[in-house]
Amino acid sequence: MTNSTEEQDQAAKRWMIVGAYQAGASERKIARLSGLSTTAVRHIILNYQQTGIPSIPKKVPKRVREKLIVEYDEDGNIIESEDEEDEEEQDHESSRKRTKYDESSQSPNRLPPPSKMDQTIRGYEEAGMN
């Protein structure tokens, strides 16, 4: 057999899978009839539903899968997705809870002395702190 006849046979098998699915056969029964795995049958059917062509979807390259997606509004500001906002809210709530616990459990005598930067910003005098 040549490559073109093999490709035609594979295409015919994929169309047979789509036809059997449209006739009401289950994915498992189609897999047994076609000699393919249930996962392969499912992918062929899903690709047919999405594109209208019953081919096995091509693998998306790793570079494309890992590429960051950034959205901008009309003013050029970055739009944060809902997932990121939810994560930030959860982080903020958990850090707020920890902060309350830490502040209530520490006495002022245990706090470390202010750094030199804090001293200059707040107007501390080194002689007054010691």
Q: Domain residue spans in the chain?
A: 10-57, 83-129
* pTM score above 0.75: no
Largest CA distance in the chain: 94
Q: What is the pLDDT of residues 4-45, one digit of tens each?
A: 888 888 889 999 999 999 999 999 999 999 999 999 999 999
Tokens 């059997």 label which residue? Answer: 20
The count of other CB atoms within 10 Å of the CB of residue 110 is: 7
